[in-house]
Amino acid sequence: MRNRVVKFLEKSPDPMVDASAMTPERLIEELHIHQIELEMQNEDLRLARINAELLQAKYTDLYDFAPVGYLTLDENLKIVEANLTATKLLGVEKSKMLHRLFTDFVDPGFQDILYFFLVKVRKSNVHESCELKLKRSAEKPFYALLDSMAICDKESMRSEIRISFSDINESKLSVIALKESADRNEMLLNLLPQSAVLVDSDRKVIAANRAARNRGVKLGEPCRAENLAEHPFEAVRQEDLQNVGFLVDEDTYRQRLITVIDDSNDAVCLMDLRGNIKAWNQMAEKMYGYPAAEAVKMSVFDLVPARLKHQTSHLLSEISAGVLVKPFETRRVARDGSVLDVCLKFTRMVQDGKIVAIASTERDITSHNLLFASLQDLPRRIIVAQEEERSRISQILHAEFGQALIALKLFTVVTSSALPEENLLMRTVFDKIRAHLDKIISDTRTLAHRLSPPGLKYVGLIPAIKELVESAMTEKLQVRFFHNDVDQASFKEKDIIIYRILQEALQNIQKHSMATQVRVNVIIKKTVFTLAVRDNGVGFDPSLASSAKGLGLALMAQQAALIHGKLSIESHKGKGTLLKVTVPIKEKKVV
């Protein structure tokens, strides 16, 4: 500080104050005055610093917690500054966002829009706006409104682009949905030969077909009451208060509406609030077997199974009270006594603001449900067929092929013993043939056991697992098996699938894991069976598994699902793999 004062005095043109002319008392007084002035200036500076820090804190709060995201981009479009709202909207931490290209957060389909927008921003001196779709980490992209301006630093001669953006995804999707709805309504109205308009609750036209527009109807304008023939019954839904008006007489509309309903591929039934049938179409006659003349003398309860009558009564009461009932699946009884699976939808019929009737749209889904159930059972039937075929092949290998090999071995022994002792060459050849036959017989037995493990059928799951574990052990791979008491468990047909899952898991370990130790645990707690297989191999990323390994894991998961079980895999590179299967079982009944 002293050096800075000396340099300042050397450069100052003002003459120095001659202190030698002052008395000591005067000099002390001047120094005291200067001391007080310096203390006052220091206090002012301290207060100014505190005020500046408070203003900076307020600015930081306003910047970071603003309702919109703020970004600052350099000349290369890299993010150099961002507030907390921006990081929240883009789903990325601030440390990971800085120095990344802003284009990384823009949807590929909007990259060209961003390019031309930034060109416009650099050429303009005012704020420019546009709509883009931005990518959010681990979530779906969202629409955002961008407001940008280019700033040039005159000292560094560098330009920056400052961007503020906000999430407009909901409003944008609503606009898109409204446009699609308007286009769809206009398309449907254009199918009608007569003039037709779609009006809202204020009778303003929101869609009109070509015939209506040719007659002077304009969108957004009120529809003339004398030209609007309303529905005799208006279907009211909470999410849709629109209605269709035809610029024709009411009788023509009613006749065409009846024709459309009568030719529908779904059964349509009109009933009063008590469930008495008033009318139904041709598909209802075909579906239930009752002609319309006979059906109008019936009640909907005549079509409902006994155990569902109370539910149907409750539904009619709710609909009559104005409750909106979503489509659901139920059952109905046809004239021939057959029970049908039906997808049912109720529509309230309103006249003069009151619910006067109920219309039901019903579709027979019996064949669909049967096909769906058959498809769900198809994997189980395939596995059963596979096991039966494996058992048949195993029996052929053991009973026919195995016996033939043993007979061939005995033939070589007899032939070798009949040879002269001096014929050493032929004896050696027969000895090698017997050795190869012994290996083929051993491999055939192993293959037969793998195809259809006899222990599983005759002595149970645990002994079969022990045999499988022992067969998987090699000089380089040690496999240990632990289990608790499983005598109280009843597996039924689940044991073969559990065995196959373990067999596939051990094969995967031998082929891919490079493990030296494997631990197989079987634990039963009440009605839950758990199979855990842990190895100390190289591990892998389950989400990046190879196609072959991924197929094996998918098959094991599908097999577990067939017995209402669940398969989970925990694995990390260099830390081994844990495969766990949990299956619900029943306790064995004690006789």
Q: CA dihedral in degrees (394, 502, 475, 570; nearest 10)?
A: 160
Q: Determine the Cα–Cα distance for residues 207 and 186; give it in Å rounded to an integer.
A: 6
Q: Which of 364, 398, 427 is the endpoint of a domain? A: 364
* Better-predicted residue by pLDDT, 77 or 180: 77
Whether residues 48 and 103 share a domain: the answer is no
Whether residues 40 and 75 share a domain: the answer is no
In a domain, 211, yes or no: yes
Whether residues 40 and 156 share a domain: the answer is no
Whether residues 54 and 116 share a domain: the answer is no
Q: What is the pLDDT of residue 246?
A: 43
Side-chain half-sphere of 29: how many Cα atoms within 13 Å?
5
Classify the C-alpha dihedral 60-62-67-70 as positive or negative: negative
Whether residues 466 and 566 share a domain: the answer is yes
Say if residues 123 and 159 touch (Cβ distance below 8 Å): no
Here the CATH number for the domain that contains residue 485 is 3.30.565.10
Cβ atoms within 10 A of the Cβ of 59, count? 10
Q: For 132-143, what is each residue's pLDDT tens digit? A: 999 987 788 999
Q: For 465-515, what is each residue's pLDDT tens digit? A: 888 888 888 888 999 999 876 665 656 667 888 888 898 899 889 888 899
Q: Which of 393, 426, 448 is the endpoint of a domain? A: 448
The pLDDT confidence band at residue 241, using thresholds 50, 70 and 90, is: very low
Its domain, for residue 402, covers: 376-448
Whether residues 490 and 583 share a domain: the answer is yes
Which residues partner with 240 through β-bridges?
Answer: 237
Q: What is the pLDDT of residue 461?
A: 81
Whether residues 79 and 135 share a domain: the answer is yes
Region 558-565: mean pLDDT is 84
The CA angle 363-368-372, to the nearest 5 degrees, is 145
Provide the terminal-to-terminal Cα distance of the chain, rounded to the nearest Å: 102
Mean pLDDT rounded to a whole number for the chain: 80
Q: Determine the Cα–Cα distance for residues 537 and 572; give it in Å rounded to an integer.
A: 10
* Better-predicted residue by pLDDT, 106 or 19: 106
In a domain, 399, yes or no: yes
In a domain, 431, yes or no: yes
Task: State yes or no: pLDDT of 517 exceeds 90.
Answer: yes
Which residues partner with 132 through β-bridges?
Answer: 144
Here the CATH number for the domain that contains residue 226 is 3.30.450
Whether residues 245 and 283 share a domain: the answer is no
Q: Which of 150, 167, 184 is the endpoint of a domain? A: 167
In a domain, 555, yes or no: yes
Q: What is the pLDDT of residue 544?
A: 67
Q: Where are the alpha helices (DSSP H) in 82-168?
A: 84-90, 94-97, 111-123
Q: For 16-59, what is each residue's pLDDT tens digit? A: 555 566 677 777 877 778 788 788 888 888 888 887 777 776 76
Whether residues 71 and 148 share a domain: the answer is yes
**Domains held by the chain: number:** 6
Whether residues 83 and 148 share a domain: the answer is yes
Q: Determine the Cα–Cα distance for residues 148 and 222; give it in Å rounded to an integer.
A: 40
Whether residues 388 and 473 share a domain: the answer is no
Region 529-533: mean pLDDT is 92
DSSP labels for 45-110? HHHHHHHHHHHHHHHHHHHHT-SSEEEEE-TTSBEEEE-HHHHHHHT--HHHHTTSBGGGGB-GGG
Here the CATH number for the domain that contains residue 146 is 3.30.450.20
In a domain, 455, yes or no: no
Q: What is the pLDDT of residue 338?
A: 93
CA distances from 227 to 204, 211, 500, 537 (A): 13, 13, 74, 81
In a domain, 486, yes or no: yes
Task: State yes or no: pLDDT of 351 exceeds 90.
Answer: no
Q: For 433-469, what is each residue's pLDDT tens digit? A: 888 888 888 888 777 777 777 666 667 788 888 888 8
In a domain, 527, yes or no: yes
Whether residues 121 and 189 share a domain: the answer is no
In a domain, 370, yes or no: no
Say if residues 220 and 200 touch (Cβ distance below 8 Å): no
